[in-house]
Structure 1
Amino acid sequence: MRYLIAILLFLVFAYSLMLVIVNSHQVEVNLLFSQVPQMNLGLMLIICIMLGMIAGVMLALILFKVLQMKLENQRLIKELNQTREKLMQTQHNYEQHLSQNADVGLSATVKQP
């Protein structure tokens, strides 16, 4: 795994270096509210790629967190429904038990006199 990561990092570095070397033209970058002095086109491409990757990773983390919370909510709702069903069953059993004891108590009081 380490070797794979090392190879990938080397390839990314080599690609970035080739971008800077091949695209050595100087360009002006006009941002909406400011203007950056002339810079190397390859360097600008690398900066744009890195900013895009950072934005993508941040967006993926946010979406992963939202998805994780949604799955957790579904699990909790399912668990709540199961607990409610158990509670209803327990209440039903308790009411049956009370009615049976009441019936036994009534029959015992009727037989005593």
Structure 2
Amino acid sequence: MTHVVADSCILCRYTDCVDVCPVDCFREGPNFLVIDPDECIDCAVCVAECPAAAIFAEEDLPADQQEYIAINAELSRSWPSITKTKAPLPDADEWKDKPNKLQYLER
């Protein structure tokens, strides 16, 4: 099993999780982060670091967010690795608690 970045990250892209990842499995897109399932060692260190509560163990991913397993796998193949914390997106605090943001995901 691996960890998955889900809906809450879209339009926020907090990067607190990146600094604690021991294997650099995060990938950065325009307004979202994903976890490379081939790199993740399932350590769970990143879960508590996410201000948007957007990271789940695959088996704990809510039923309405199962599509993010495939999204993380797909986008991690083309997005660059991120290994250092960056500032969140400008409106991150406004967006972090809003649900159903998939339509805003920029690929």
Q: Which has the larger radius of gyration?
A: 1
Question: Which structure carries more helix by proportion?
Answer: 1
TM range (shorter): under 0.3
Between 1 and 2, higher relative CO (CA 8 Å, sep ≥ 6) is seen in 2
